[in-house]
Structure 1
Amino acid sequence: MSYTTEGQPQGIANKLTNCIRESLISEIVAINQYNYHIHNSTCPSLVKLWMHIRDEEIRHFSMFSELLRKYDPMQQKLFEETKGHVNIDYSNCFSLKSDTRINIPNSIRSDIKGELEAVILYEYVLTSNKYRDVYEVYNEVINEEKEHFEELSFAIKEYDTSFGIKTHL
């Protein structure tokens, strides 16, 4: 599949392994988005929330990677062949700190949108699934994505309330 718009697949995944790959892409997009927000915000309490959610997204990526290798024998074979070949010394690597400041409410709402999209995608995968372990992994991730939605919803409510905007949450 080709991704002409970030995170939007071209075509329909009709195999379990491709549904898992779509889920991996969704997690990568989320991880990158949360990292961007973390590195471009000056609000410590919001950075702490984003780091918590980002860390869970990284764990989801790992869980989906394990499922992919289990159900795609070639992927598992390539994993075994590759794991000893990639050795990167990160001791001299660094990230450039950007002077960019993000729009906090837009970032939170964008994050909420991403969490909702993830739930929709992952629940769709469950409708065509017949494996118990796949169900268990997706169900656990779905519940955490729903938790992220609630955490971010409270964050935007607190932000809006602090600026005198009335909310109904």
Structure 2
Amino acid sequence: MSYTTEGQPQGIANILTNRIRESLISEIVAINQYNYHIHNSECASLVNLWIHIRDDEIRHFSMFSELLRKYDPMQQKMFEEIKGHVNIDFTNCFSLKSDNRINIPNSIRSDIKGELEAVILYEYVLSSNKYRDVYEVYNEIINDEKEHFEELSYAINKYDSTFGIKTHL
């Protein structure tokens, strides 16, 4: 069962691709939690442990993303399409007065989580639908959400590589 940020149930992940999306959501929650701990602790040895674990969670996210693209042809199509039109440069996103680096990746990952949850919910709605117009509207929106996932995933990979965080892709 997918949950929103506020813990409200969304759809039921009853197909493989949505179970993979649920796994991606789990990784996002873990990554953001470890980032919070890393940036709010003064215990260097514990921070180093959290960085190691967080980096593994980032790698897991990338691995699940690859699986999702393998089993969802539309997701793969969106992945290929976004390569040409998403251009982000994080080097100019910070001022000397306010270092908001922790907020940017956590915000992007929270956005990814929302896109994944939307796909799970909308595909769940379609699983019991019998009307063509409902199918067409939901399907178009699902494809938009898949594109948003790819755009945001590209952004977080770009962010991580800009700041020396190893990613799987």
After superposition, what is the alpha-carbon deviation per residue over 1:120-162, rounded to whole angstroms, capped at 9, x for unaligned? xxxxxxxxxxxxxxxxxxxxxxxxxxxxxxxxxxxxxxxxxxx
- Where do 5+ consecutive residues of structure 1 fail to align? 99-169
CA distance 1:9–1:28, change in 2 (3 Å): farther
User: Which residue matches 1:82?
Assistant: 82
CA distance 1:26–1:59, change in 2 (3 Å): same
Task: Tell me, in whole angstroms, the C-alpha distance in 2 between the residues paired with 1:5 and 1:11.
Answer: 14
Shift of residue 83, structure 1, vs aligned partner: 1.6
CA distance 1:48–1:36, change in 2 (3 Å): same
Task: Tell me, in whole angstroms, the C-alpha distance in 1 between the residues paired with 2:100 and 2:63.
Answer: 30
Do the aligned partners of 1:37 and 1:47 also contact (CA within 8 Å) in 2? yes
Seq. identity, %: 85
For CA contacts below 8 A with separation 6 or more, give which structure has more relative contact order. 2
Task: Tell me, in whole angstroms, the C-alpha distance in 1 between the residues paired with 2:34 and 2:28.
Answer: 10
Task: Tell me, in whole angstroms, the C-alpha distance in 1 between the residues paired with 2:54 and 2:8.
Answer: 20
After superposition, what is the alpha-carbon deviation per residue over 1:71-130, rounded to whole angstroms, capped at 9, x for unaligned? 0000000100012211111111233389xxxxxxxxxxxxxxxxxxxxxxxxxxxxxxxx
Task: Tell me, in whole angstroms, the C-alpha distance in 2 between the residues paired with 1:97 and 1:65.
Answer: 23
Task: Tell me, in whole angstroms, the C-alpha distance in 2 between the residues paired with 1:79 and 1:86.
Answer: 11
- 5 Å-filtered alignment, 1:99-110, equals none
User: Which residue matches 1:50?
Assistant: 50
- 5 Å-filtered alignment, 1:16-165, equals 16-94=16-94, 95-96=99-100
CA distance 1:76–1:25, change in 2 (3 Å): same
Q: TM-score, normalised by structure 2?
A: 0.53
After superposition, what is the alpha-carbon deviation per residue over 1:24-53, rounded to whole angstroms, capped at 9, x for unaligned? 011011111101110111110010000000
Task: Tell me, in whole angstroms, the C-alpha distance in 2 between the residues paired with 1:97 and 1:71.
Answer: 33
Task: Tell me, in whole angstroms, the C-alpha distance in 2 between the residues paired with 1:28 and 1:67.
Answer: 16
Which amino acid is 1:12 matched to?
I
Which amino acid is 1:48 matched to?
N
Secondary structure of the corresponding residue to residue 11 of structure 2 = coil
Shift of residue 3, structure 1, vs aligned partner: 3.1
CA distance 1:32–1:68, change in 2 (3 Å): same
RMSD over equivalenced CA pairs, Å: 2.2
Do the aligned partners of 1:7 and 1:29 also contact (CA within 8 Å) in 2? no
